Structure 1
Amino acid sequence: MNKKKKQIIEAAQTLFIKKGFSATPIQDILDTANISKGTFYNYFSSKIECLMAILSFIKDEVIDDRQQLALGKSPSDRDIFVKQIAARFHIDKKHNLMALFASLGSSDTAHQELKEFLNQQYLEEVTWMAERICDVFGDKKQKYAYDNAVTCFGTIHLTSKILMDIGKTEIPIEETINFALRQIEQTNVYPPFLQEDYFLPYHQKKNVAEKDIKNSLQQTLTDLDRLIEELENNKLTYYHRFLQEQLKTDDPDLLLMESVINSYQHALQYTELEDKGKYIKMLFVQLMEEKK
């Protein structure tokens, strides 16, 4: 991260926890970070965007910590999985994230941009948990991965709150995590409730090569050929074929594709393929980032 940007983030985080998000004017951030207003707005368009940068910084730290824990270890190692889940809680505690969220007033949490950002982070975490459950417990959990991920997260958070409420704060988070995992180890009897397609837009694709993203986008569109035809929407079919033709070229027109992707996703709203549309948009955004 750019040194100056990191300096602003650290100053803002300290002030948000100490004074509260709403009670911290941008001028206080400028004074604490010893920067000019122009420098602040060079990196952030608003205080909300600065807060989201803080949360992204913490998220990246969690991802890096989890990757370090997994180095040289089997994906099915349950102890590593427990440590990876715990990493989120330890890093949140290190950054005093609970105090940071407590500093947000009701009007702040209602801010649409921030709300969507927090929802995105939470759903990405659920998706990560579902993928790791399959790694640790095997293919038998594939169908129930998202049911189990939500159950596991809910158990951890609620149990942690209850332990705090009754003063049992000395119990390590790892014990709570093991308790939660034991709840999902039992054989699932009923049909799964949460489907994998619901979470397609929240799969993390870090460090994926441009070629791989393009191939994933092409394959996803190809897999939808029959389903798109069945919707009998001429405009949608046109958008679908246009995107496929562009991806066949060595140098697709990304600006034109961006406009069509937005129309394509809009056309899929309120259909059974709405989640697929979100996933395709996510892949395209990643392709755009790789091209920069």
Structure 2
Amino acid sequence: MNKKKKQIIEAAQTLFIKKGFSATPIQDILEAANVSKGTFYNYFSSKTECLMAILSFIKEEVIHDRHQLALGKSSSDKEVFVKQIAARFHIDKKHNLMALFASLASSDTAHQELKEFLNQQYLEEVTWMAERICDVFGAKKQKHAYDDAVTCFGTIHLTSKILMDINKTEIPIEETIYFALGQIERANLHPPFLQADYFLPYHQIKDAGEQDSKIELQQTLTALNSKVDKLKNDKLTYYHHFLLEQLKSENPNLFLMESVMNSYQNALLHTELEDKRKYIQILYTQFMEEKRENS
């Protein structure tokens, strides 16, 4: 991360926790970070975007730590899974996120962009949990993975709160996680409540290098070829195959892709493929950002 950007993020995080998000003017961030207003707006369009950058930075730290914990270990190793879940709680504690979120609770959080960002992060975490439950407990958990993920997260958070309320904070979070996993290990006798398709837009892109996001987007569009053709929508078919051709190119025309992607998204509305729009947009946005950063 750029040094100046990191200075701003660290200063803003400290001030948001100390004074509250709403009560912290941008001028205070500038003074604490020792940067000019122009430098701030070179990286962030608003205070809200700065907060989102803080949360993204913390999320990347969690992803990194989880990856490190998994190196050289079996994906079905339950102990690794417990440590990976605990990593989120340890990192949140290190960054004092509880105090940060408390300041948000008392502030004007009507910003739709921030709400959507927080929801996205939460649902990505649920999706990660569901995938790891399948890794650890096997295919038998596939149908109920999202039910189990929600149950597990709910159990961890509520149990942690109760332990704090009764002053049992010395109990390690790992023990609470083992307890929560124990609740989902028994066989699921009911039909699944949360369907996997609900969470399609929240799957994280693995190994998010430029080539990986490009391949992921290309594979996603390729998988829809037959369904797009069956819709017999000439405009949709043209946009779809144009984007695929650009993705196959070593030097895609980013300007044309931007225009066509907007039209493609609109063409998907009110079709049986409408639920794929958000996931495609997420992949496309990441691909474009990485292309621009590397240009």
Both proteins in one fold, TM over 0.5: yes
Q: Distance in 2 between matches of 1:249 and 1:134?
A: 36
1:20-35 correspondence runs (5 A) = 20-35=20-35
Partner residue in 2 for 1:128 = 128
Q: Which runs of 5+ in 1 are unaligned?
A: none
Partner residue in 1 for 2:251 = 251
Farther off after superposition, 17-26 or 236-245? 236-245
Shift of 1:209: 4.3
Change (3 A) 1:195 1:232: farther
Q: Provide the secondary structure at the position in 2 that maps to 1:61.
A: helix
Change (3 A) 1:27 1:219: closer
Change (3 A) 1:32 1:248: closer
8 Å CA contact 1:82, 1:174 repeated in 2: yes
Q: Distance in 1 between matches of 2:247 and 2:14?
A: 46
Partner residue in 2 for 1:92 = 92
Asked if 1:179 corresponds to 2:205, the answer is no
Farther off after superposition, 83-92 or 4-13? 4-13
Letter of the 1:36 counterpart: S
Q: Provide the secondary structure at the position in 2 that maps to 1:188.
A: coil
Change (3 A) 1:214 1:27: closer
Change (3 A) 1:108 1:267: farther
Shift of 1:230: 4.2
8 Å CA contact 2:124, 2:202 repeated in 1: yes
How many residue pairs were aligned? 292
Partner residue in 2 for 1:161 = 161
Partner residue in 2 for 1:197 = 197
Per-residue CA shift, 1:107-151, capped at 9, x if unaligned? 532211111111111111111111111111112222222221122
Partner residue in 1 for 2:64 = 64
Partner residue in 2 for 1:144 = 144
Per-residue CA shift, 1:214-257, capped at 9, x if unaligned? 33333322322333344454432332233233334443323222
Letter of the 1:111 counterpart: H
Asked if 1:218 corresponds to 2:218, the answer is yes
Q: Distance in 2 between matches of 1:142 and 1:105?
A: 35
Farther off after superposition, 252-261 or 226-235? 226-235
Partner residue in 2 for 1:261 = 261
Change (3 A) 1:35 1:220: closer
Q: Which runs of 5+ in 2 are unaligned?
A: none
Farther off after superposition, 182-191 or 233-242? 233-242
Farther off after superposition, 221-230 or 30-39? 221-230
Q: Distance in 2 between matches of 1:275 and 1:97?
A: 33
Farther off after superposition, 175-184 or 187-196? 187-196
Partner residue in 2 for 1:273 = 273
Change (3 A) 1:11 1:249: closer
TM-score (norm: length of structure 2):
0.90
Change (3 A) 1:273 1:106: farther
Change (3 A) 1:70 1:20: same
8 Å CA contact 2:22, 2:107 repeated in 1: no
Shift of 1:289: 2.8
Change (3 A) 1:196 1:259: farther
Partner residue in 2 for 1:78 = 78
Change (3 A) 1:74 1:252: same
Q: Distance in 2 between matches of 1:199 and 1:188?
A: 20
Percent identity of paired positions between Structure 1 and Structure 2: 80
Change (3 A) 1:133 1:214: same
Change (3 A) 1:38 1:250: closer
8 Å CA contact 1:236, 1:267 repeated in 2: yes
Farther off after superposition, 247-256 or 112-121? 247-256
Q: Distance in 1 between matches of 2:271 and 2:179?
A: 39
Change (3 A) 1:43 1:289: closer
TM-align CA RMSD: 2.1
Change (3 A) 1:10 1:255: same
